[in-house]
Chain A
Amino acid sequence: MTNKHTDQPTGEVENTATNAAGVGIGTSTAADSTAAADVNATATGSSTTDNDSATDTVSDNSANTTGKDVVERPLGVFTRPEGGRGWRDWLSTVDHKKIGILYGVSAMFFFLVGGVEALLIRLQLAAPNGSVLSADVYNQVYTMHGVTMVFLFIMPLAAAFANYFIPLQIGARDVAFPRLNALSFWIWLSGAIFLNTSWIVGGGGADCGWFCYSPNSGVAFSPSHGVDFYAVGLQILGIASLVSAVNLIVTCLNMRAPGMTLMRMPILTWMLLITQFLLLFALPVITVALFLLMFDRLFGAQFFNPDAGADPLLWQHLFWIFGHPEVYIIILPSFGIISEVIPAFSRKPIFGYQFMVASGIAIGFMGWGVWAHHMFVSGIGPLSVAAFSLSTMFIAVPTGVKVLNWLATMWDGKLRFTVAMKFAVATVAMFTIGGLSGVTHSVAPANTQQTDTYYIVAHFHYVIFGGGVLGMFAGIYYWWPKIWGYLLNERLGNWHFWIMLVGFNLTFGPMHILGLQGMSRRIDTYATGYGFEAWNMVSTVGSFLIAFAVLLFLLNVWKSKRGSPYLQPPGPDPWDARTLEWMIPSPPPVHNFDTIPSVHTRDEWWHRKYAENEQGEVVSVVTAEEAAQTGDAKGVHLPSPSFWPLAVAVGFPLIGYGIIFNLWLALVGGLIVLTSLYSWAMEPADNPDTQHDDHDHLQHDDDNAHTEDHDNQDSQDSASESPDDNKDNKQLTVA
């Protein structure tokens, strides 16, 4: 064993060197996967180390530095597994946790931007004949509100959870392609900034509504550059999401810890995986639409020009083939989150795990067959209307299954109403309201009355705010201690929760009534005498309550952080939870797991802590503190940071501005992208070392040896870490 340990670092060096040979563009991924390879190799390698054999790993290090052809790798190996500090570290990080935080913080920033836009809308509509915004600016504000909330807030927030927790929940050291992961984030950020610069350099924001129907989106009706920024910006964001979808799918499928079969993956990971598949297949469709729109507006193509015989429905179809799956892209991560939160605070496993997974998959498939319910009044013909009406009603079934499962999970559980749990329960309730009004839209005749009224606005805010955003807040409160190592204040959290819930219902509840009274969506103002006044005022008051609740949340973050040094740290597992991320310290060490855990059952972590005695009662076997890893493994081999992802991403907005304003600029952007990609491919995923071909076979054998070793180790692992987890593979139902 010791022998192998001293061999291992050398082996890795060789493995890296092999790929230092680096190959062109095509291999930017290949080279990247080397990092993953190493992550993997280390994973197997170090699982031969028990928690207490830190000395072993130390000897590793000395071997490393004294070994004859080992070159110094100041970046390749974090000798103490804590990353560096400072802004440079954030710009070059490839750590999935840091990238998750980057996503989360940026998403929150854009939540504020989109929120200010929402408040402007509500101010304008508070009373009849509003004059806060001109009609033109109003169009821009609601469009950018929708676009910002969807593409710059809720999707990246989901990406934050995906990045941070997928590797932790499946027991991996990182994602499959750490540098591509950084690339996704930076491209996303560059696209987000690009999109918003249209306010400054584009003559205003896009003004065509978030789904930007043609021919309204044509130059004739929308002469500013706003829609150009929309078309190009969303393509950039799409590239980011696509790269990240590929990366996360491979991560989920390939990087699972030993024993983590698909049907043992936590529901959050499952829902995020389904989301990534939806992104994978939905994004190219909107990319086509945006691409055509871009060529129409900027290069005189005829895709959406009715005068030349183009069909305006083409855009609607392409957009909604993307758009409806997008709805699930928004909601499934939140479903995943509350499927972790509710069991944890009910002290029960999720009810009907298989049904949860299956209904998620069913939603993922059926989501592709309902898009034309957005087009019932577009003249698509009675047969299509009937078919899509039916399919839409059917998709409510798997969704209903989920709701019932959450309720059944809580049923008879030992409920703890923490703020996270409150948000989760509110998510179920609010989503159910939104889902039910959704079913009313699926009835085509009713839809004809409701479409493009405030009834729709009410419906989708119940779904995406009530179902999506509240769920995200549940996740934020739940995982905050894991990410930051201190708890959010529950008292302030309660204020945040209740004010947000009340504000939410005051804002969007009345919109149902307004819509049924006939108030159109997207009108910049209304005259007196239609009976719209009172409810609009209520709605505006509600929206400011939401804003106040968001401020309370920020205050909570600030106060909790300030107070944290005086409080007991939360420890690895403050909620007595069930999944693997809770078996490592809070915040997690850079290398995540000291020892890659072997998984024997669903809710592995719970089963390490608890077992059933002869009477069938659940008894604690070890405390979380005892069972958790200490996080002080040393010399764990990690992929090196890199500035190239950032450099590549810088090129994209330049290409964007270039396409809109001056093609030379696009050329410059393109060159930046290309040279950065090349430099990236040439830079090995780990720091370059020696190139000795003859050692490769050694590495290869070594690898296998580790695998075998690892297999043997499995039993010992469980012996030392959780003596009981072999015998309690069955689900625990009572606690």
Chain B
Amino acid sequence: MMTEQQTSTNLSNTKLAMWVFLGSECLLFGGLISTYLLYKTRGNGRTLPAEVFDIPFTSVSSFVLLMSSLTMVLALSAVSQDNREAGRVWLLATALLGALFIGGQVYEFTAFVREGVGFTTSPASSAFFALTGFHGVHVSLGIIMLMSLFIISVKGNLTQRNAETVEVVGLYWHFVDIVWVFIFTVIYLIPVE
């Protein structure tokens, strides 16, 4: 079983690598969040993103994303117990919840554009779309990974032995969720001015 290799730290290479990588990701989002915070009131004389936020809607989609973390946990525990059927279901559920979130984001973006807040409108809007779009790309990559796991599982190749792979994908997924919690609080909930 690949989790049991001898390493100097007793952490598997893959898991350690994911942790290290996520450390780097923190600064990536840190940079984008700071950019937004610096620019959130610079509307170029046009509507600010904060003025068109639909908090109830985004709350719901945030909740959806949070739930996907729960299903991710369930997926991992199912795979580690070699409950392949359940593992498959929860992986799919996680990916679908993620996709629902992305769908919400696409809807939100189009709604904003209709209300006159586009990517090129102002420093504030550019920063908003860059940050949330970047996060959306991260979620989408996560969905691709989950679907890959799902397909492998359908082919019958996802066994207890791969639990660590699921765990590593899970790490990534939880990270992306936590980042969203942060974005949601700092960007959406804290009022501008």
* Cβ contact within 8 Å between A33 and B12: yes
- Please tell me if A301 contacts chain B, counting CB pairs below 8 Å: yes
Complex interface: stretch among A20-28, A100-108, A386-394, A633-641: A20-28
Contact with A along B28-45 (1 / 0, CB 8 A): 101110010011001110
- Please tell me if A34 contacts chain B, counting CB pairs below 8 Å: yes
Residues in B neighbouring A308, C-beta threshold 8 A: 42, 44, 122-123
* Cβ contact within 8 Å between B151 and A24: yes
Contact with B along A223-252 (1 / 0, CB 8 A): 000000000000000000010011101100
* Cβ contact within 8 Å between A309 and B42: yes
- Please tell me if A302 contacts chain B, counting CB pairs below 8 Å: yes
Residues in B neighbouring A707, C-beta threshold 8 A: 6
* Cβ contact within 8 Å between B20 and A246: yes
* Cβ contact within 8 Å between A291 and B27: no
* Cβ contact within 8 Å between B8 and A256: yes
- Please tell me if A187 contacts chain B, counting CB pairs below 8 Å: no
How many chain B residues touch A (Cβ–Cβ < 8 Å)?
Answer: 58
B interface: dominant SS: helix
Min CB distance B144 to A, Å, is 6
- Please tell me if B154 contacts chain A, counting CB pairs below 8 Å: no
9 contacts between A and B (CB under 8 A): A26-B169, A29-B17, A33-B2, A242-B21, A284-B28, A288-B35, A309-B122, A314-B35, A318-B35
Min CB distance B92 to A, Å, is 14
Min CB distance B177 to A, Å, is 16
* Cβ contact within 8 Å between A289 and B162: no
Q: 5 nearest interchain CB pairs?
A: A24-B148, A288-B31, A26-B145, A284-B28, A21-B157
- Please tell me if A71 contacts chain B, counting CB pairs below 8 Å: no
* Cβ contact within 8 Å between B17 and A300: no
- Please tell me if B96 contacts chain A, counting CB pairs below 8 Å: no
- Do A23 and B1 form a contact, CB below 8 Å, given A253-B8, A284-B25, A285-B27? no
Complex interface: stretch among A37-45, A119-127, A329-337, A578-586: A37-45
* Cβ contact within 8 Å between B123 and A302: yes
A261-308 interface with B by 8 A CB criterion: 280-285, 287-289, 291-292, 295-296, 299-303, 305, 308
Residues in A neighbouring B53, C-beta threshold 8 A: none
A529-565 interface with B by 8 A CB criterion: none
- Please tell me if A117 contacts chain B, counting CB pairs below 8 Å: no
* Cβ contact within 8 Å between A23 and B126: no
* Cβ contact within 8 Å between B2 and A15: yes
Query: In the complex, which of the residues A37, A256, A281, A302 contacts B24, with contact meaning CB atoms closer than 8 Å?
Result: A281
Chain B residues at the A interface, C-beta cutoff of 8 Å? 1-2, 4-9, 11-14, 16-18, 20-21, 23-25, 27-28, 30-32, 35, 38-39, 42-44, 119-123, 125-127, 130, 141, 144-145, 147-149, 151-152, 157-159, 161-162, 164-165, 168-169, 172
Query: In the complex, which of the residues A260, A292, A311 contacts B8, with contact meaning CB atoms closer than 8 Å?
Result: A260
In the bound complex, CA of A314 to CA of B32 (Å): 11
Question: In this complex, which of B42, B119, B126, B149 has the most chain A Cβ atoms within 10 angstroms of its Cβ?
Answer: B126
Query: In the complex, which of the residues B1, B126, B148 contacts A302, with contact meaning CB atoms closer than 8 Å?
Result: B126
- Please tell me if A700 contacts chain B, counting CB pairs below 8 Å: yes
Residues in B neighbouring A292, C-beta threshold 8 A: 35, 126, 130
Residues in A neighbouring B43, C-beta threshold 8 A: 309
* Cβ contact within 8 Å between A254 and B145: no
Query: In the complex, which of the residues A30, A33, A41, A291 contacts B130, with contact meaning CB atoms closer than 8 Å?
Result: A291
* Cβ contact within 8 Å between B148 and A26: yes
Residues in A neighbouring B169, C-beta threshold 8 A: 26-27
* Cβ contact within 8 Å between B16 and A250: yes
In the complex, the chain B residue whose C-beta lies closest to that of A706 is B6
* Cβ contact within 8 Å between A242 and B24: yes
* Cβ contact within 8 Å between A703 and B4: yes
Residues in A neighbouring B147, C-beta threshold 8 A: 24
- Do A309 and B44 form a contact, CB below 8 Å, given A26-B148, A284-B31, A288-B31? yes
Query: In the complex, which of the residues A27, A299, A310 contacts B39, with contact meaning CB atoms closer than 8 Å?
Result: A310
* Cβ contact within 8 Å between A295 and B130: yes
Query: In the complex, which of the residues B9, B28, B123, B127 contacts A305, with contact meaning CB atoms closer than 8 Å?
Result: B123
In the bound complex, CA of A255 to CA of B120 (Å): 48
